Copies of this chain bind each other. A is one copy, B any other.
């Protein structure tokens, strides 16, 4: 039933070593032999067993990817690119949604280790620094600086926050708000907030900061958050939302309230996700593709025992569209 290297060896009349050599293209082999072995494989429909290989080589060619939620467009888009680069380099991706549940995240880490993955990309960060340090596996984190020893990939959050806020100020907004979703999603995102406050204070303009609680992201909560904002501060004329998803809710609420965007209220989002409805949204675009690519690349470098930069901070870009 199952064709193994041994069956091929018998059929061709050589040893398993030779077959293995052909398979891995190692050592000296006569061309005739190579051909005969390949033919036999073809004929018997042989497929190498990666599990056996992994066990023997102590290398699985699998990467673990832990993110909060694949259904969030930001992660979905980055995951797409990570899968692309992983595949290109002969690696498979094991998808793990933590749902920002500490227990699940921990279980997945153990599971990934037990599965002998060669490395992990951590996009979810609910645990303590100490716990991450104890993972002892090649690791790359997204948007969180855990320690001096774990490389991370992020984009320039502070600059993003500045650009967004400056734009609102330049457009003569008088009362601006910073709206933030879950902070655990992206620990470095706090810098966007800091930049916002600093810019607002610098200009002496009135500003408000508002954020949801920590428990995952449900769009319903976004809706409520936005609704509250305008109830409490009907005179707001500029909003900087820390994600495009949130910004879309702002635009929607304005439409509902009959406030015209951008005339009465200007809206800037964050992320630069490409998805229905964001085409006309002014936003701070993160280089999602490049972040995904580098996350994989730096992980593979670690796996190969090479040096990788500890800190990778990519530039963001202001995309001015119709909401400002």
Contact = CB atoms under 8 A, between A and B. Distances in A.
Could you say which of A55, A69, A244 has the most chain B C-beta atoms within 10 Å of its C-beta? A55
Interface string A78-109: 01100110010000111111000000100000
A145 interface: no
A275 B52 CA distance: 43
A276 B274 CA distance: 11
A209 interface: no
Interface in A48-74: 48-52, 54-55, 60, 62, 65, 69-73
A279 B69 CA distance: 20
How many copies of this chain does the complex contain? 2
Contacts of A223: 279
B71 A76 contact: yes
A116 interface: yes
A94 B92 contact: yes
Interface stretch (A5-13, A180-188, A231-239, A245-253): A245-253
Contact of A71 (B69, B79, B278): B79
Contacts of A275: 73, 219, 245, 275-277
Given A79-B95, A275-B275, 13 more contacts: A49-B116, A62-B94, A65-B95, A70-B83, A71-B73, A73-B76, A80-B97, A92-B115, A93-B95, A219-B279, A252-B276, A275-B277, A276-B276
